[in-house]
Amino acid sequence: MATALAKAADTGTSVASAARIEHVSKSFTTPAGQQLVLDDITLDVAPGEFVTLLGASGCGKSTLLNLVAGLDKPSAGTIGTDGRPALMFQEHALFPWLTAGKNIELALKLRGVPK
């Protein structure tokens, strides 16, 4: 996406975001008090862009995905999407009996993309 934003800056055009996460924080109440899980996260995802969240177990990856999917609300900040339904996998979503190419073909077929 940095490339898309750089091109937009060079040409004076804007790039629409498929998802925009602005200053998002999330905390949960525990018996010990408030537990801050996400702190001031800002991220733009361009249309068609592939983004991967990496981090240790318990660092907030699933929490952020749940916020973007609308399954939970941030404690602070805003999340905007282009309004289309999306599916986000936390684990690989490939059929192990298909080749990588056949997995891609299946995904395109399910989206109705002609051969």
Q: How many other C-beta atoms lie within 10 A of the C-beta of residue 39?
A: 13
* Ranges under pLDDT 70 in the chain: 1-15, 83-92
| Res 21: pLDDT | 93
Among residues 67, 58, 55, 59, which one has the least CA distance to residue 21?
A: 67
DSSP-derived letter for residue 105 is H
> pTM for the whole thing?
0.62
Q: Decide: 45 and 17 in contact? Cβ < 8 Å.
A: yes
Distance of CA 14 to the CA centre of its chain: 20
Q: How far apart are CA 75 and CA 24, in angstroms?
A: 7
> 9: which residues sit within 8 A by CB, 6+ positions away?
none
Mean pLDDT over each residue of the chain, to the nearest integer: 82
What domains appear along the chain, each with residue ranges and CATH number?
Answer: 2-90 (3.40.50.300)
pLDDT score recorded for residue 111:
82
Q: For position 2, what pLDDT does the model report?
A: 47
